[in-house]
Amino acid sequence: MTGYLILDYLLTLLHLLIVGFNLLGWIWPATRRAHFIVVVVTASCWLLLGIWYGIGYCPLTDWQWQLKEHLGEQGLPNSFIKYMVDKVSPVAVYSDTIDTLTAGGFAIAAFMSVYLNFFRKKKRK
């Protein structure tokens, strides 16, 4: 059981790193190319895999929820972000609100990534 808990913590950390990088990775010039790749992979999971598994599907969430169910958690939301907001917020936030904020933040970050990687003129040194 301890190994499952450690794996759950590691998946939570990985999830948080990916979410953070999706939202902020476009800011630093050194991470912009990697950010674009991560954004494309995330969007592909949400939209392409979403054709079969439901829009917004995340394999990492799926694996982590399987692990959490094995550890005895029940009633898990569809979204990792909703799960984390529920953990830290003293007030209930509707899933639709979380999904809208998630999609909006992701859209802004994706736009910035495309703009900075492909349309912004590079400054000469």
pLDDT 10s digits, 30-84: 999 999 999 999 999 999 999 999 999 999 999 999 999 999 999 999 999 999 9
* CA–CA distance, 72 with 69 (Å, rounded to integer): 5
Query: DSSP strand E in the chain: where?
Result: none
* CA–CA distance, 24 with 93 (Å, rounded to integer): 23
Say if residues 8 and 68 touch (Cβ distance below 8 Å): yes
Cα–Cα distance list, 105 to 21, 99, 101, 102, 108 (Å): 12, 10, 6, 5, 5
pTM across the whole model: 0.91
Span 102-112, mean pLDDT? 98
The answer for 121, left when phi > 0, alpha when psi is -120 to 50, beta otherwise, is: beta
The pair of structure tokens assigned to 28 is 């630093």
Rg from Cα positions in the chain:
16
